[in-house]
Amino acid sequence: MNLTAAGLAATFDSTNLRLDATDADLDALCDEAVTLKFAAVMLYPTGVANAARRLKDTGVKVGTVIGFPSGRFTSAAKSAEISAVVAAGADEVDVVLNYAALREGRADIATAEISALTAHAHALGATIKVIVETCYLNAEQRIAALRICEDAGADFIKTSTGFGSAGAKVEHIREWAEKRRGKIQLKASGGIKTLANARALIEAGATRLGTSSAAAILAEFNGEKPAAVSAGY
């Protein structure tokens, strides 16, 4: 795969979901994303309005998380949260699936929720990525999650919150790439710290990588001394 620095940078959703993140940290996240031409920044909903002002007309998207990290919120609450963050300036919403329902054999609950939330996000002009927390799903459940997202018309299916027992695995991205029926895109997230891991996930089929180590990975690609690797996400 002929990966370029620009191509690699364009896969990154540069993320700061640390519980101790400051306003200055989030400003730095935005400024770095503009300089390095990342696809998007990902931060908590309260940071959206400032990020939207800071990133206006830069080409960097503002992303945020919904129902995070457990997914065990009512569909009404998730819908209201989507409305609020899009009104504040979010371009993309990463929504945590009620994967607990899926694990308990209640795929109908997860299906109804993601169908409604996808329609809602799209009506507001937002991209929706559905986080399914693959570390807690078996193979059958991972494919069921893929079908739910495909049938709902979601833009992406995403591996992880970064708060589960494990993050993105190359084999899970490859599994989805081989099993998907249409054009749904794949986002890998959680624990992506090195160029080798990023490259492997892209080669497996991921088109977005959620990571707090985006700058360090890009520096590694360019043969530069990397910035400190974040301990989070």
Nearest to 17 by CA among 131, 118, 138: 131
Told to judge if 78 belongs to the known catalytic residues of this protein, a careful annotator would answer: no
Residue 189 falls inside a structural domain: yes
Does any domain span residue 35?
yes
Task: Give domain status of residue 229, yes or no.
Answer: no
* Closest CA relative to residue 186, chosen from 147, 158, 211: 158
Does residue 233 fall inside a structural domain?
Answer: no
Rounded-to-integer distance, Cα 19 and Cα 175, Å: 32
* DSSP SS3 for 43: strand
Give domain status of residue 123, yes or no.
yes
Read off the CATH number of the domain in which 161 is found: 3.20.20.70
- Please indicate whether residue 225 is annotated as part of the active site: no
Catalytic residue among 13, 91, 94, 155: 94
Residue 231 domain flag: no
Among the listed residues 61, 78, 169, 187, the single catalytic one is 187
Note whether residue 188 is domain-resident: yes
Q: Rounded to an integer, what distance in angstroms lies between the CA atom of residue 198 and that of residue 150?
A: 24
- For residue 108, being part of any structural domain is answered with yes
How many domains in the chain? 1
Give the separation between CA 62 and CA 85, rounded to whole angstroms: 10
pLDDT digits (tens, 9 = 90+) for 179-193: 999 999 999 999 999
pLDDT tens sequence across 116-164: 999 999 999 999 999 999 999 999 999 999 999 999 999 999 999 999 9
> If pLDDT is split at 50, 70 and 90, which confidence band does 216 have?
very high
Is 20 assigned a catalytic role?
A: no
Residue 150 structural domain: 5-221
